[in-house]
Amino acid sequence: MLNLLCQKVMVDNDNVVSLAFADEAGTKSFAIGFTDFPNDTTAAGSWTRGNAASYPADVRIWQGTTFADLKGHVALGLTDVNNGTIYLDSNGSNGGQFQAAVSYSNKTSTADCATAPSAETCHNQDVKMYTGEGDVTFGPPNGFHLRIYADDKKAPTFIALEGRFRYTAASAAHFASLGSTCPGSELVKMRSLYFQTIQKGDQVWGHFAFRDGNGALLSCTMAGTFNPFTQLGSDAGICQNRGSPTPVDCTDIVPADFASLWEGEDNFANITESPVGDIWDGAPTDRGVCTTTGCGPVQ
């Protein structure tokens, strides 16, 4: 990313604190900064002409019309090339279309991921997204939290997911399009969905807790006496062979073997506000390149 944005500047200057560009008409401005900002990474405060090991680093990117109205859009807190957090703000301020924080960790070896999955043995991500309290007509729910463990980033043979979705009444009302009978008649009441899922070998296992605004599990009866929410929400969960919707006995997956992987419904964070936080203060105000020794034009 840095090479694409400003390779020549980074090569020609030591200890870059910020870069800022604006057109003479005052219609477009862009700035990138490397000073430390409030997050879990304690950064050096500038980017040097070092190499791929020049970490930890904080990176923030702003856009606007003039320097006075720069709004933050993307930030990175990088512990090293394989560990960090990416922050996204679609509108540049809390309360915009969405704000997201995605933490990731890549591992040099995932040989033990499928048999002993954990944050130490698997590639993993933790995704938190907030879309406001209104009616979300498309995209993710009002609150979205997903943790991912995988043994390979391109062609995984093992994946484990733990997640929680949160819905307002306005967002859940869109489930009415599924009809006025079970399960659509119940899904409009849903305010949270917590789930655990595993894909291993040729099977998929999952446990899903659909709850209304009072925290009660959804419940309704389809043909006969079948209650889909009881089946999906059972402690034992449900197994299916990949590519088939029919429930089967678990053979490739023993759910109890993975019990220690989950935080659990009571502890897994429910996203009710922006996970980005107040990190956009301190946008550059000087056109050109600023280093630890001062600011000047981009050469």
CA dist., res. 237 & res. 199, Å (int): 13
CA dist., res. 283 & res. 286, Å (int): 9
Is the Cβ–Cβ distance between 15 and 296 less than 8 Å?
no
To the nearest 10°, report the CA torsion of 164, 255, 267, 120.
Answer: -100
In DSSP terms, 298 is beta-bridged to none
What are the tens digits of pLDDT across the range 212-231? 999 999 998 887 788 889 88
Given a cut of 60, whether residue 22 has pLDDT beyond it is: yes
Tallying the residues shown for the chain, one arrives at 299
| Beta pairing, strands 16-22 & 29-33 | antiparallel
What are the tens digits of pLDDT across the range 172-202? 998 888 888 888 889 999 999 999 999 998 9
DSSP state of 251: S
Q: What is the 3-state secondary structure (H, E, C) of 4-22?
A: HHHHHHHHHCCCEEEEEEE
What are the tens digits of pLDDT across the range 127-179? 999 998 988 876 689 999 999 999 999 999 999 999 999 999 999 998 888 88
* CB contact set of 148 (below 8 Å; sequence gap of 6+): 124, 125, 126, 127, 159, 160, 161
pLDDT at 231: 87
Residue with the bigger pLDDT between 51 and 184: it is 184
Is the Cβ–Cβ distance between 217 and 229 less than 8 Å?
yes
CA dist., res. 151 & res. 36, Å (int): 32
Per domain, the residue ranges of the chain are: 1-79+276-299, 95-275
What are the tens digits of pLDDT across the range 64-104? 888 888 999 999 999 988 999 999 998 645 445 889 999 99
Average pLDDT over residues 14-40: 86
pLDDT at 94: 46
Using 50, 70 and 90 to split pLDDT, how confident is the model at 234?
Answer: confident
Distance of CA 287 to the CA centre of its chain: 33
In DSSP terms, 86 is beta-bridged to 76, 102
Cis previous bond, 284, omega within 30: no
- Computed over every residue of the chain, the mean pLDDT equals 88
Nearest to 151 by CA among 178, 172, 124, 175: 124
Is the Cβ–Cβ distance between 59 and 76 less than 8 Å?
yes
3-state helix, strand, coil in the chain (%, to 5): 15, 35, 50
Q: Tell me the chain's radius of gyration from C-alpha atoms.
A: 23
Nearest to 54 by CA among 36, 89, 80: 80
Distance of CA 26 to the CA centre of its chain: 34
Q: What DSSP line would sit under 191-207, residue for residue?
A: -EEEEEEEEETTEEEEE
